[in-house]
Amino acid sequence: MSANPPSTPHPPAAQQPEAEKSPAGPTINIGEEYGTAKKNLPPAKVVLIAVAGVLVVVLIASFFKRAKPQGSGSLDNVVAVEVPGQNTTLVALTFTLHNGSDKALYVRELQSGLKAPSGETKVDAVSAVDFDRYFQAFPELKNGAQPALAPETRLEVGDTIQRTIIVGYPKTLNEFNQRQSVSVIIWPYNYTVPLVLTK
């Protein structure tokens, strides 16, 4: 009996690896950086135009919203008297004050400012209750004087008044007379800018 030798299975032929295919579509250039301002910000011209627009709006708003004095007026009369032996000059300042705003004006504080060759000086007004005492001691101060303007005075909308304050400057009368200007400074409540009347 003839036997056919058993056939040995042949291993499958090894497949040859296919050549790598290049991907279809756009490729990323690995050398290009994506975290830079060039890729993340709009063009510089657009940014500059936007910044300029914001600045214009801020400037216009600050111009119309800036603090303004609440009233107006004029410094009408200045009378100065030297206090003997004290290097001090008492000054009676008479002025006209008008409330041209849309609400009542309440006086918080009264001062005077002096601009002289030696520099600028500010002093507080004396108390209105002391006026008679000063007028008795120095009658010249009464020349052209009006009633005292005291803190807490209320000036209604549209009102105009004439008032006087008295201040004492640590200067001789001669030094005071060499001044460049003298002012009444009225600080109203709820305002950051005083009303300044200068002569």
- Per the prediction, the chain carries an average pLDDT of 83
Contact 110, 194 (CB under 8 A): no
Alpha carbons 184 and 175: distance in angstroms, whole number: 19
pLDDT at 159 over 90: yes
Residue 20: pLDDT band by 50, 70, 90 thresholds?
low
DSSP lists the bridge partners of residue 120 as 115
Token digits of residue 44: 């510089």
Looking at residue 184, its amino acid is V
Residue 153: pLDDT band by 50, 70, 90 thresholds?
very high
The pLDDT value given to residue 152: 92
**Domain 72-198 -> CATH class:** mainly beta
The pLDDT value given to residue 24: 60
Dump pLDDT digits (tens) for 93-118. 999 999 988 889 999 999 999 999 98
Contact 80, 91 (CB under 8 A): yes
Instruction: Report which of 173, 157, 165, 152 is spatially closest to residue 197, judged by C-alpha positions.
Output: 165
pLDDT at 41 over 80: no
Question: Please, what sign has the CA dihedral across residues 167, 171, 177, 179?
Answer: negative
